[in-house]
Amino acid sequence: MTFAVFHQPVVTIYDSPKKTKMAEDGLRSTISDEGLYGMVCRVLEEKDGWIYVMTHYGYAGWVCAEDLTMWSEEELKNWQKKGKEGYLALVDTFCADVMSIPKVQGHCYISLVGGGVVEVAGTAGEAAGWTRVRLLDGQEGYVRTQHLCPKRFTEDLLWQDPQPVLDRMKEVSAKSRTAAGGQEGFSLKAVVDHWFDGSENAFRETLVSEAMKYMGVQYRWGGKSFRGIDCSGLVSISYMRCGVLIYRDASIVDGWPIQRLALEELKAPEVLASLKKGDALYFPGHIAMYIGDGKYIHSTGRIGSGGVVINSLRPKDPDFRQDLLDCLYAVGGVRLQGDL
């Protein structure tokens, strides 16, 4: 098996080994996702300067070869070992400069966006507020400590047979609707116990706070960073930052953690009482995250309110959107065992 790591701050992932295609509405891009610095993928195919990959969260697409560094099995195992030992960190700000010295007067080696992964090599002194990091090319630099947070997700999926994952992606594209969802072996309790001191409430509050960090970011088709983000990019990256890898697109898919919740009367007021913070709201081709008090956060391309905004499910609220409530067809979420 061969693997690869994204070595640019933001890397475009395409659904074809080309950048544009003809669709029913005319010429359009083939952009489907983004890979961020330090995220790892599995190499499935190479073709004329393009590489077909499966990401660590089970989403496949084509990447320009120049944006990837090829890795062996041993290099991936070493990377995962560093993660388990706490030597990998996530960039936790809009943009973090990696400096040549632990001072703002240093030279900037590279500017990383939120969600990128770096190796922690040491600290330059807690009082100084800088952390020494090692880049993928081996060069060492310094990042403000306040701009880093723990990396909670793993790359374990990359060791599995990719074909079932690819088959499910094709099925989702054909149906364009939600399945029952659920991943065999997934345990929300394990995530909550490991990262949130056993508190499901802390997990859900963190889900919301992670999504809220993207407030005001522009809408970008296929985007997954502070440079621009789409609806499923917002929800999936928020879950990823909390240690749960959900399906990248606006669908509930068997084999991923989110399950469809048994809420028959979706538009009834009592549904709000059943929702938990972090639950996903599904509309045709769109997804949002419930944040409590009848509100949800989402990234929308709508003229006049584009980007990451908050809207309401309550008709009396000024930020209520009737058009979305009318087409809400599913609610999904992760639950503790026996809590469905």
Residue pLDDT, tens place only, 1-46: 899 999 999 999 999 999 998 888 889 899 999 999 999 999 999 9
> Looking at 63-72, 98-107, 150-159, 161-170, which range is the least confident one?
161-170
Residue pLDDT, tens place only, 144-160: 999 999 999 999 999 99
Domain extents for the chain?
Answer: 3-73, 87-150, 176-333
Predicted pLDDT of residue 265? 65
**Percent residues over pLDDT 90 in the chain:** 79
Give the SS3 label for residue 89. strand
Q: Which two tokens stand for residue 180?
A: 């029952």
Predicted pLDDT of residue 256? 93
- C-alpha 158/C-alpha 17 separation (Å) is 21
Q: What's the whole-number average pLDDT of the chain?
A: 92
Instruction: Answer whether CATH 3.90.1720.10 is correct for domain 176-333.
Output: yes
pTM of the model: 0.94
Predicted pLDDT of residue 264? 61
- Can you name the residues that pair with 143 across neighbouring β-strands? 131
Matching fold, domains 87-150 and 176-333: no
Question: Taking a C-beta distance cutoff of 8 angstroms, is the pair 340, 261 a contact?
Answer: yes
CATH number of 3-73: 2.30.30.40
Please tell me which residue, 172 or 74, carries the higher pLDDT value. 74
Average pLDDT over residues 206-213: 98
Backbone angles phi, psi at 100, to 5 degrees: -75, -25
Superfamily of domain 87-150: SH3 Domains (2.30.30.40)
Residue pLDDT, tens place only, 273-305: 789 999 999 999 999 999 999 999 999 999 887
Residue type, 335: R
Predicted pLDDT of residue 92? 97
Predicted pLDDT of residue 165? 85
Phi-psi domain of 197 (left: phi exceeds 0; alpha: psi -120 through 50; beta: other) = left
Which stretches of 147-194 are assigned E, i.e. beta strand?
Answer: 148-150
